[in-house]
Amino acid sequence: MNTKIKSVEILPLVKYYMDALGLARLFDRFVPNSNGAEIAPAQVLCLLVMNIMVSSKPLYRVEEWLHDYLDGVTEEPLEAAKYNDDRLGRSLDQLFAADRGSLQAALSAEAIRVHQLETNVIHNDSTSVTFLGAYETPDAQAVTLTHGYNKDHRPDCKQIVFGLNITADGDVPLSHQLYDGNQADVTTHIPNWQQLRDLLDQEDFIYVADSKLCSMENLNTIAEHGGRYITVVPRNVREVKGFLQRVRNGEALVWQHRDEVPDSRKRGAMQTYRIHVGEAMDNGARILWVHSTGKERLERTAREQRLIKAEQALERLASGLNQRQLKTRTQIEAALKKATGAVGAFLAVTLEETRTSEQVQIGRGRPGPHTRYKEVEHVRYQLQWQRDEAEIARAQRTDGLFPLTDNTGLDPVEVLRTYKHQPYLEKRFSTKKSVLNVAPVFLKTPSRIEAMLCLYFIALMLVSLIERRIRLDMKTAHIERLPLRPGRMQTKAPTWRTIMDSFHGVHLASIERSGRVIQTTLKGLTALRQQVLALLKVPIDIYTSLRDGWWRFALE
């Protein structure tokens, strides 16, 4: 007798969520098997989504990954070899040629229906997806990989701008857009808002975005079509510049509203928000000036750290004066500017100059009665500095302040609470770039990149739906924590990573005798894992009833 092991881990759970959305059928509808291929593109694309969620191996290693899971228990190990990089690449080409916009809309509508997602508030933001490689041959039908403002701090690499819309309910992505790598965010909002309006079949949802939304053209267009918005007002707006200047000069503010929330950075502490209703913008929309104690603390700490760094740089500079490249005023002043950087206004720096002269013999030889001399002047510099406490105090008066504008008609505290959900969108970008490993990307053509990012969006939606479900059901069941982290450490808000890792080791074991399987057993489905399945509304027989070919998706 011998024993044969096949991993299953988190994949049956993932497949259950994919099946609940009818993902395979949607793929088959928009990317049909029109060529009669042995394996339908829909099946290939579904397995790629699963791979993105749990492995994110490059295309040429997906086959290797599949060997651990495919072929069931009794099947011959042939299936995984069929998913070679050529087949995967062809399926991506077919997805690129399909109507991905309609596919995305149909999938999002199904997610809203199946999971009863609330869509009254939608958050939007964008990030850069960085690519390694030249990509010199553009594709007229695809977005352009080019250099632009790179949020991964890789200006040497080409990029695509990835825009994402998520619900406030569970931070679930509903749609994404890809833009050329040098696309300005300010021009993307109106087309994006119109797409959301069509998807949701409503226009009065609250659209929350960063300061790039805040142009008069954008805000007026949304308002004129019955839309609502919340956004940050840029600091170069006239009303904002004037307000900040008055506050720096000592104008006292009247705080009409107040809110307190637990401080996520300091256990047991509270973070206080105060709101001052300022003057209206040119379009009549109010400006809400928010003061955050947490933001104030961060800004003061950052300023102090920059001041200390600048003072240390000045000390090094002072010790090297009058030597090498620090002999002239021009050289020293350039070094001073570099040393003080952004905190130069808070340091009173003086460069003192001492001039001396001496008589120096002209020519060689011993001096005599006919020796001639010339007067040589020597200039030496000395550096002194001190903090400009008055200027620091002026700057501190605006620490913690940021301006919001809206046309929602909500109470200012509700406007703030709605906006404060925006960082969760940044966490979704973090998931995309870390857990799902979307950047940097290695693919051959822009069209395949675009198709692959469509699959990443779908994977991100599934991850978000799983996280949302377990957290909602933990709250309903009054479960404060689950021991899902390594070493059975507790977590209040399980992430996809902790859920996925907690299923490592779940496998099928079959006992063979004389080439025949006489017993197959599911191993590793512990009580904790069964509890997770229950919280995720996944029937336990999704695991206990696994059979050969469990990983195949029904297309009819």
The 3-class SS string of 104-139 reads: HHHHHHHHHHHHCCCCCEEEEEEEEEEECCCCCCCC
Handedness of CA 208, 211, 215, 216 (dihedral sign): positive
What is residue 185's DSSP assignment? Answer: G
Average pLDDT over residues 266-281: 88
Q: 440 pLDDT exceeds 50?
A: no
Q: 140 pLDDT exceeds 70?
A: no
Average pLDDT over residues 28-53: 93
Residue 39's Cβ-count burial label (10 Å; 0-12, 13-18, 19+) is middle
Mean pLDDT of the chain: 86
Distance between CA atoms of 472 and 504, rounded to whole angstroms? 24
The 3-class SS string of 48-104 reads: HHHHHHHCCCCHHHHHHHHCCCCCCCCCCCCCHHHCCHHHHHHHHHHHHHCCHHHHH
- The whole-number pLDDT of residue 428 equals 62
Beta-ladder partners of 519: 511
- The whole-number pLDDT of residue 188 equals 86
- The whole-number pLDDT of residue 214 equals 94
Q: What's the pTM value of the predicted model, to 2 decimals?
A: 0.85
Provide the CB-side half-sphere exposure for 2 (13 A, CA).
Answer: 7
Provide the CB-side half-sphere exposure for 534 (13 A, CA).
Answer: 11
Distance between CA atoms of 411 and 404, rounded to whole angstroms? 13
Average pLDDT over residues 194-198: 95
Reported as a pLDDT band with limits 50, 70 and 90, residue 435 is: very low
- The model's pLDDT over 378-430, given as tens digits with 9 standing for 90+, comes to 889 999 999 999 999 999 999 999 999 999 999 999 999 999 887 666 666 56
Between 345 and 5, the more confident residue is 345
- The whole-number pLDDT of residue 430 equals 62
* Cα dist from 445 to 41, 60, 158, 407, 451, whole Å: 19, 15, 13, 43, 10
Residue 188's Cβ-count burial label (10 Å; 0-12, 13-18, 19+) is buried
Tell me what percent of the residues of the chain surpass a pLDDT of 90.
59
Distance between CA atoms of 408 and 228, rounded to whole angstroms? 5
- Please give the domain boundaries of the chain with CATH numbers for all domains: 2-98+480-544 (no CATH), 101-243+407-443 (3.30.420), 299-363+371-393 (no CATH)
